[in-house]
Amino acid sequence: MNVWKIWVYRWLIVNIFLLSGFFLASGLILGEFRELYSDDEILSESDDILLGSAITESSLIKFKIVEQKKPKVVAIGSSRVMQFRSNYFIDKDFFTMGGTAGSLMDADKTFKKIKKSYTPDVVILGVDLWWLNPNFSHVSTLGCLDEIRESKYKKYFQLIKFMKDNAEMRGMLFHLDDIKERDAVGGRRTVGLSAAVKSDGYRLADGSYQYGHFLTADFKTAAELFQDTHKRLDDRNRRFEAADDIDYREFERLKSLVREMTKAGCHVIVFLPPFPDEIYSRMSSNDEWRFFLANFENSVKECCAEEKVQFFDFSNVLWVGSNDDECLDGFHGSEMTYTKIVKAMLADKVFAEYVNSDYLNYVLEHPANRFQAIPPNE
């Protein structure tokens, strides 16, 4: 055997050893972080799981759950439709796809993927302000995120990337006792590090999101909760880019999506998710946003009138009987706010037939806390 072959064999042995060590160590860490559950394991007990991965996008498993459950009522949109709960609907026949649609392109893809397995009776579509902002990126991220989540190997490399960039995640290696099998808020089985440590994640029974770190933290004032959104407005970035008018190409995409939903036989409800009054008032009184804001609201309303679908404008929490103290941050209303939104949507007679109005009224009169209408373990 010549020197060259010996060098090659040694190189291979060393690299195989290092690679094996990498996957072994990563696998052990992922196991401790509760990140190694397969989709089949999760789906078999989905009604009792809080899913909050720190490695991959947790919302993507919702497509498999919807394919299984085939709920009559579905909500589609960004994180601003994650506060709807199945408890408000007869036989809990509801699921929110909130978090799968950061843009209109993703909303369109979400509906098309649902329609491959079945057609919902009712679709609630939450249209975000930035979806029609010409200065905001409208690219789809679903494909890229799905590729990472479905890969058996990319998860290991994502772990290294996240640990390199996140000191808190690295620190968990020295505080493994803080990683819990049951979440501290609702008592559900935890899958993923965020769920196991912060009690943050999706309740897979209905797709809603539990903001555990809000519910277990000390009381925060509106000034603290809205601070980041005010900074976004100051910097005119991260969904709050200044604009004069809507993006008419994206507006046509919205019309096409609504038309596709109605042609498929869905009863469509379009709504504009709420901002706290403090944030909405700032935008509506500033020339850098107020014309765009007004054009956005009027354009979506006109689109719905043209397509003959129900439209609700809840852009300001005050308009639905909520208030700034019930908001999670500068552009997310809490579960309490969305309970009042469902109540307001009862004006749509078709939608009202799917709602358990007695239960809805009860939790409005007996809310669990400032943010939650429903008791945490339900």
Query: Considering the chain, what percentage of its residues have pLDDT values greater than 90?
Result: 77
pLDDT at residue 146, as a whole number = 64
- Band of residue 147 on the pLDDT scale cut at 50, 70, 90: low
Token reading at 317: 């929490």
pLDDT at residue 142, as a whole number = 76
pLDDT > 60? residue 70:
yes
Over residues 148-158, the mean pLDDT reads: 71
Please state, in angstroms and rounded to a whole number, the distance separating the CA atoms of residues 80 and 329.
11
The 3-class SS string of 260-299 reads HHHHCCCEEEEEECCECHHHHHHHHCCCCCHHHHHHHHHH
Write out pLDDT tens, residues 296-344: 999 999 999 999 999 999 999 999 999 999 999 999 999 999 999 999 9
pLDDT at residue 362, as a whole number = 97
Lowest mean pLDDT among 9-13, 73-77, 249-253: 9-13
Over residues 237-256, the mean pLDDT reads: 96
């109005």: which residue's tokens?
357
Write out pLDDT tens, residues 269-302: 999 999 999 999 999 999 999 999 999 999 999 9
pLDDT > 70? residue 247:
yes
Q: How far is CA 352 from CA 81, 114, 299, in A?
A: 18, 23, 26
pLDDT at residue 196, as a whole number = 95
Write out pLDDT tens, residues 29-58: 888 999 999 899 999 999 999 999 988 888
Greater pLDDT, 218 or 280: 280
pLDDT at residue 152, as a whole number = 65
Over residues 187-208, the mean pLDDT reads: 97
pLDDT at residue 27, as a whole number = 82
| SS3 label, residue 234 | helix
pLDDT > 90? residue 97:
yes
pLDDT > 70? residue 138:
yes
Please state, in angstroms and rounded to a whole number, the distance separating the CA atoms of residues 279 and 327.
11
- Band of residue 1 on the pLDDT scale cut at 50, 70, 90: low
